[in-house]
């Protein structure tokens, strides 16, 4: 017979899911991620993740190890191509920070590619399922993270556009997206680790079955289409998906944990004054499936 403590730990009644407008993004309360997450709690979080695509947990002063342990509930962790951002001794934790050891700012935003619309690691054969971020330091002005619901945006496309993109694929190229966003060029070793790949322009979510537009900064051009025509189509799809009605704007607080479904969203960081403002995020990424 189950005892009271076992029943208690199997319950997730204390967890609350509060969705934002249009059900895009939700805040989860009643959970302390540092304590670990029970199976019952995880089931609620996982369902909320599928339903709302972006999850916000406030007031979670996490260390890297429990942060990583929480992300690992969602699947296999994935390190980053850019080894310079890896946390010492924890290759699956990356730190994007403009704060130096002496407490002063570097003056530049790390990873400029995060300032433009993208979906994480779409330049790999098995792009990120989710990215779990936490915020030890936030900018007082700017530095919000914007999310676009690319599944709702797909639904709203005119039928002829859905049909047109149905059979099309785009090349996703990390080396090229770095140049586009003004980052240092990828090294030969990095390009060997991340050669260009192609993915469908509209992908089907492996868990919900919903279709979503799959573009962003790493998408360089469309396979078997005139280069400029393909670039124009990618730009048109991105502009459509990032209209105000599909956006959730995350206003950071220190110790937020924020996670998103890269299979049906795009995101970007709003510019801020990287000389004046300190901004740091720690990041753990979970590997996803090959997009279909």
**Following DSSP, what letter does each residue of 244-283 receive, concatenated?**
GGGEEEE---TT-EEEEETTSEEEEEPP--TTT---EEEE
Q: How far is CA 83 from CA 67, 69, 217, in A?
A: 19, 21, 21
Q: Which is nearer to ligand OGA, 139 or 222 (CB)?
A: 139
Instruction: Select the residue whose beta carbon is closest to Mn ion and give its number.
Output: 120
Nearest approach, Cβ of residue 16 and ligand OGA (Å): 24
Contact flag: residue 120 with Mn ion (CB under 5 A): yes
C-alpha to C-alpha distance for 117 and 233, rounded to whole angstroms: 15
> Residue 110 Cβ, how far from Mn ion at the closest point, in Å?
12
Binding mask 74-103 for ligand OGA (x = CB under 6 A): ----------------------x-------
Spatial separation of the C-alpha atoms in residues 265 and 216, rounded to whole Å? 10
The interface with ligand OGA within residues 235-274 (CB under 6 A) comprises: 267, 269
Tell whether residue 281 is a contact of ligand OGA (CB under 6 A): yes
Q: Parallel, antiparallel, or unpaired: how do β-strands 211-213 and 54-57 relate?
A: unpaired
Element (H, E) at 202: strand 202-204
Task: Tell me the closest approach of the beta carbon of residue 7 to Mn ion, in angstroms.
Answer: 40
Q: Which is nearer to Mn ion, 52 or 267 (CB)?
A: 267
Answer yes or no whether residue 261 interacts with Mn ion by CB under 5 A. no
Among 41, 120, 149, 198, the residue binding ligand OGA under the rule CB under 6 A is: 120
CB 181 within 8 A of CB 86: no
What residues contact 235, with CB distance under 8 A and at least 6 apart?
none
Min separation Cβ 200 and ligand OGA, Å: 21
Cα–Cα–Cα angle for 165, 167, 171, rounded to 5 degrees: 80
CB of 96 to Mn ion, least distance (A): 9
Q: Report the residue number, 118 or 221, with the smaller CB distance to Mn ion.
A: 118
- Interaction of residue 277 with Mn ion, rule CB under 5 A: no
Within residues 140-169, the interface with ligand OGA by CB under 6 A covers 145
The answer to whether the CB of 223 falls within 8 A of the CB of 199 is: no
What is the size of the binding site for ligand OGA (CB under 6 A)? 10
CB 215, CB 239: distance < 8 Å:
no
Please give the residue ranges that form the binding site for ligand OGA (CB under 6 A): 96, 114, 120, 131, 133, 145, 267, 269, 281, 283
Please give the residue ranges that form the binding site for Mn ion (CB under 5 A): 120
């Amino acid at each position: 017979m189950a005892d009271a403590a076992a029943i208690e730990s199997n319950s997730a009644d204390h967890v609350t899911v509060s969705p934002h407008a249009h059900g895009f993004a939700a805040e989860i309360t009643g959970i302390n991620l540092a304590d670990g997450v029970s199976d019952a709690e995880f089931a609620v979080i996982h369902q909320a993740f599928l339903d709302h695509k972006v999850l916000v947990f406030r007031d979670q002063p996490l260390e890297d190890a429990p942060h990583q342990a929480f992300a690992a509930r969602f699947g296999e962790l994935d390190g980053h191509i850019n080894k310079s951002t890896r946390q010492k001794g924890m290759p699956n934790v990356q730190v994007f920070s403009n704060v130096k050891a002496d407490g002063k700012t570097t003056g530049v935003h790390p990873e400029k590619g995060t300032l433009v619309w993208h979906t994480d690691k779409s330049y790999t054969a098995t792009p990120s399922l989710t990215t779990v971020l936490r915020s030890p330091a936030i900018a007082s002005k700017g530095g919000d993270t914007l999310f676009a619901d690319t599944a709702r945006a797909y639904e709203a496309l005119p039928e002829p556009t859905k049909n047109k993109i149905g059979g099309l694929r785009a090349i996703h190229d990390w080396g090229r997206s770095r140049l586009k966003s003004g980052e240092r060029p990828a090294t030969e070793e990095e390009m060997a680790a991340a050669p260009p790949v192609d993915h469908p322009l509209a992908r089907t979510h492996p868990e919900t079955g919903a279709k979503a537009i799959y573009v962003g900064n790493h998408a360089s051009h469309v396979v078997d289409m005139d280069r400029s025509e393909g670039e124009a189509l990618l730009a048109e799809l991105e502009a459509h998906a990032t209209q105000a009605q599909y956006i959730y704007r995350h206003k950071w607080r220190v110790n937020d944990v924020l996670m998103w479904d890269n299979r049906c969203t795009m995101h970007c960081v709003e510019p801020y004054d990287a000389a004046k403002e300190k901004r740091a995020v720690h990041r753990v990424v979970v590997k996803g499936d090959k997009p279909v």
